[in-house]
Amino acid sequence: MSADPLSQFFESLFDEDLEREIMKGIVDGLSNDELVAKLVQRLERR
Amino acid sequence: MKMALKFGYLIERDEGDKVVEYRPTVVPTDLPNLAYVEGPNSSGKSTLLHLIAAAFYGQKLKKLDEGLKAKVAAFVDPSHQRTTFDVTLSNEDGTLKLVARKENADSAEIVVEEFKGTRRKLMTSESFERDYRLIYDIPNDPTQRLLYLIDEVTQLQAARAASIAGFRRRVDDILREISDARDPKRIDTLKEVLGKQDAELKTTKSQMADTEELLVTLRRFHAVRALTETLSAAETVDQSLRQAKKTQKKSDRERKKVSAETSAALTGLLNNCRQLTVLRDETIPVLKEVTDRKDLSKVDAWRSLDFIRASSELEFPSVLPSLIADFRNRLREARRNPTYGAELERAEVFAELARTLEKFSQFNEPIPGTGKTIKEMIHALEDQSRQNITHLRLAQNLKKASDAIEAIHKLVNETGVLFATARKAPRSPEHFQATGEEDDEPDDLVERLTKEAEELMTRGSEQEAQCVALDVNVEQLDAELAKLEAQVELAPFRSYSEGQLVEAISEREVECDRLERAAEKLTRSHAVTESELAKLERKEPHAFQDKVEVLNEVKVSAMRMEQRLQREYHQFAGDLRHGKPLPGRPDAAKYADAIGAYLGKKIGRLRHVDQEYTVERIDMVKREVITGESKRILLADMGTGQSQSAYLQALLGADDGRKIIALFDEVAMMDEKSLSPVYARMRELRDEGKLLLGIVVQRADALTVKAI
């Protein structure tokens, strides 16, 4: 969970890990391609 | 004290009786980045805040209170007053500087520049709003305005939904790029398809060649056999004609009266013998099938039987009864074969199955349990059905031949009686002349036989021409027929009648056409597959080629989030904002908790009565503040100063990464204690490099300016 209250708010709106990861990436200001790469890597590790 | 804000302005306002000029004369033009200003009316406090707001595009800010926005807009509106200004704002260490100028008093144009070290950037209102957050507020009715913070959340939710939509579109693009890129799995699949198409094409062409070859052989067999039968029939007719002419000649010479009984016998036996010839010829193809090779001489003897001659000699060849008996037995044995009935049923079932499957022939997947595609199944069924049909034909022909043998047997017995009657007559039959109405019979017979002979001659000529066209040596017709009958592929057709052969030829012609069309279609499909494969092999593989599944998973999640933010969460925020109860659903309760916690963190600490509390969360449904000390304070019970304090802290609490310029006016209800958490927050933000300028203004009798 992010430290910033706004990020916390948005992350807490979603239950699934993948959704939280997407929201965190958006809040952290990752570019779309960076976020895709990060999520693909994470899902591959499952 | 380091000064962060430097400003100057000149306002020329037409006040009816005269044009008045205003310049900063009371409030200092150099201020620190956190400043508290109090002073009497008309000392320029609000003008200072309007100036800073207008300099940094406050008049274009969507979230600015409408009343304030109108004042800021009017500040730079040439139709209201002529204004020029110059504002410079720097951060603590001087690494960032904003300069805003309005040099033309008759235009609303403002130029804002950002300096970071030596880098200069011209800022439009959009780019400024992207990087900086201008807060300008007069905290009137702060309890109510605390609710406005939910509007901010609604806007942020919409912004997040838009970001997620953008992200989802990018995932979609990547999936499209992957499907357009070199896909090794697709290449393997296409190669497999190509292999299958090759094999199928080869099989089809081979089937077509076999069918064409069989068709040629069948046409030759049909032509040769038809000509042989015509020639044989012609010979029989010729013999009959010769005898009829002889009878006619002698009867002209010796007209004798014979008994009606003898005359009928003579006519009957000639007709019977001609019918016996026809029936005998019909049985020959089948008898060849059912007779062992070593006994084929019996079939030859059967074929050589001269029934016309027997009609004149008034007796059958002595071998006839034994041949009839032998062939009756052979046919009976052959017909006892139990497979014929089963073959008939199989032929019908397979043909029906093939017809049904034809409707689904475009479906190219293997059928579970068979390993064959529908097309392959259809071909297999048709092959089987064809094989069964040849057996079926043989069964039918056996029955027909048996019937013919029985008819021959019966006719032979009947004719034997007629022979006996005729033998009793005083003269040999050719000397007899029928009496009464039958006087003219020999003439009619000659005429009829002559016509028949001519027809057979014409038919024979046509059939001969056909044989020649099919490269048959008509001089060696018997040898040609024997050669054809010896061919293995013709074995199923040897017993076929003329009509059955024509039908079999027609079926093969249709089959050839079908196979040709199938081969053409397969060739086209093969070319398409080859082209697609070549195109695919020329492409570069995509980095996420084997990640399609996870990308789809990401896409689905993003879509779900987007929808939830735009629908449910948007609705919940609206309901909370307007004091409506949320639906009794877990997601609504979770949302209320999340937004309550967020607003609580934004406010941080507050004073109530005479004590300071840490805000845990705000229950927006019950309109109460829950503190870390588990105290519940209704918003309505909070003092105005305390509410103002909570509200201002909340305004400062939002952290979206932009640098803040905060301007608070008329904080009149707030005492030192209420203001202290606001100041603390401002200092904190400044020290974190997040707050560029913070000015708090209060009305007082005397001017005081101090750093916060």
A contacts of B654 (beta carbons < 8 Å): 6
| pLDDT, position B256 | 52
Report which DSSP code applies to B541: B
Tell me the CA distances in angstroms from B53 to B73, B74, B417, B696, one per residue in order: 9, 12, 138, 13
Which of A16, A20, A21, A32 is best to mutate for the B interface (most B CBs within 10 A)? Answer: A32
Q: Write out pLDDT tens, residues B470-519.
A: 999 999 999 999 899 889 889 888 888 888 899 999 999 999 999 999 99
| pLDDT, position B689 | 85
Least confident of B283-287, B376-380, B653-657: B653-657
Q: Report yes or no: B582 at the A interface, CB cutoff 8 Å.
A: no
Q: Report yes or no: A34 at the B interface, CB cutoff 8 Å.
A: no
pLDDT at B430 over 50: no
Beta carbon pairs, A and B, within 8 Å: 82
Alpha helices in A1-46 (DSSP H): 5-12, 17-27, 32-45
Q: Write out pLDDT tens, residues B160-219.
A: 999 999 999 999 999 999 888 888 888 999 999 999 999 999 999 999 999 999 999 999
| pLDDT, position B433 | 41
Q: Report yes or no: A14 at the B interface, CB cutoff 8 Å.
A: yes
- Taking an 8 Å cut-off on Cβ atoms, the answer to whether B170 and A32 are in contact is yes
User: Percentage of chain B with pLDDT > 70?
Assistant: 90
Q: Report yes or no: A28 at the B interface, CB cutoff 8 Å.
A: no
| pLDDT, position B257 | 53
Gap between the Cα atoms of B69 and B62, Å rounded: 9
Q: Per-residue confidence at B461, pLDDT binned at 50, 70, 90?
A: very high
B contacts of A17 (beta carbons < 8 Å): none
The nearest CA of chain B is from the CA of A6 a distance in Å of 7
* Mean pLDDT confidence for B630-656: 72
Q: Report yes or no: B597 at the A interface, CB cutoff 8 Å.
A: yes
Q: Are strands B659-664 and B132-137 parallel, antiparallel or unpaired?
A: parallel
Q: Write out pLDDT tens, residues B40-93.
A: 877 888 889 999 999 999 988 877 777 788 888 888 988 888 999 999 999 888
pLDDT at B439 over 50: no
| pLDDT, position B431 | 43
Closest CA relative to residue B436, chosen from B591, B607, B261, B599: B261
Question: Contact, B86 vs B97, CB < 8 A?
Answer: no
The nearest CA of chain B is from the CA of A30 a distance in Å of 10
Q: Per-residue confidence at B438, pLDDT binned at 50, 70, 90?
A: very low
| pLDDT, position B161 | 94
Q: Report yes or no: B602 at the A interface, CB cutoff 8 Å.
A: yes
- Taking an 8 Å cut-off on Cβ atoms, the answer to whether B595 and A9 are in contact is yes
pLDDT top residue among B574 and B67: B574
Element holding B519 (H helix, E strand): helix B498-538
* Mean pLDDT confidence for B566-577: 92
| pLDDT, position B259 | 63
Q: Per-residue confidence at B571, pLDDT binned at 50, 70, 90?
A: very high
| pLDDT, position B510 | 93
| pLDDT, position B21 | 86
Q: Two tokens at B252?
A: 């002209």
pLDDT at B31 over 60: yes
| pLDDT, position B146 | 66
The nearest CA of chain A is from the CA of B142 a distance in Å of 21
| pLDDT, position B142 | 56
B contacts of A44 (beta carbons < 8 Å): 547, 550
Q: Two tokens at B330?
A: 């052979």
* Mean pLDDT confidence for A2-29: 86
Which residues sit opposite B433 in a β-bridge? Answer: B257
Q: Per-residue confidence at B145, pLDDT binned at 50, 70, 90?
A: low
> What average pLDDT is seen over chain B?
84
* Mean pLDDT confidence for A39-46: 85
| pLDDT, position B636 | 64
| pLDDT, position A1 | 61
pLDDT at B441 over 60: no
Contacts of B635 (CB under 8 A, 6+ apart): B143, B146, B618, B623, B624, B625, B643
- Taking an 8 Å cut-off on Cβ atoms, the answer to whether A18 and B602 are in contact is no
Using CB atoms within 10 Å of the CB of residue B537, give its burial: 0 to 12 exposed, 13 to 18 middle, 19+ buried: exposed
pLDDT top residue among B45 and B651: B45
pLDDT at B440 over 50: no
- Taking an 8 Å cut-off on Cβ atoms, the answer to whether B167 and A22 are in contact is yes
pLDDT at B258 over 60: no
| pLDDT, position B698 | 81
> What single string gives the DSSP state of each residue in B345-402?
HHHHHHHHHHHHHHTTTT--SPPTTT---HHHHHHHHHHHHHHHHHHHHHHHHHHHHH
Predicted TM-score (pTM) of the model is 0.46
pLDDT top residue among B263 and B581: B581
Measured between alpha carbons, how far apart are the two ends of chain B, in Å?
11
| pLDDT, position B283 | 93
| pLDDT, position B328 | 93
In chain A, whose CA is at the least distance from the CA of B587? A13
| pLDDT, position B436 | 37
A contacts of B542 (beta carbons < 8 Å): none
Q: Per-residue confidence at B144, pLDDT binned at 50, 70, 90?
A: low
Q: Report yes or no: A2 at the B interface, CB cutoff 8 Å.
A: no
In chain B, whose CA is at the least distance from the CA of A30? B167
- Taking an 8 Å cut-off on Cβ atoms, the answer to whether B550 and A29 are in contact is no
Q: Per-residue confidence at B376, pLDDT binned at 50, 70, 90?
A: confident
- Taking an 8 Å cut-off on Cβ atoms, the answer to whether A29 and B591 are in contact is no
Q: Write out pLDDT tens, residues B102-124.
A: 999 888 889 999 998 889 999 99
| pLDDT, position B664 | 86
* Mean pLDDT confidence for B616-626: 84
Task: Write down the ipTM of this complex.
Answer: 0.96
B residues 536-575 lying closer than 8 A (beta carbon) to A: 544, 547, 550-551, 553-554, 557-558, 560-561, 564-565, 569
| pLDDT, position B665 | 82
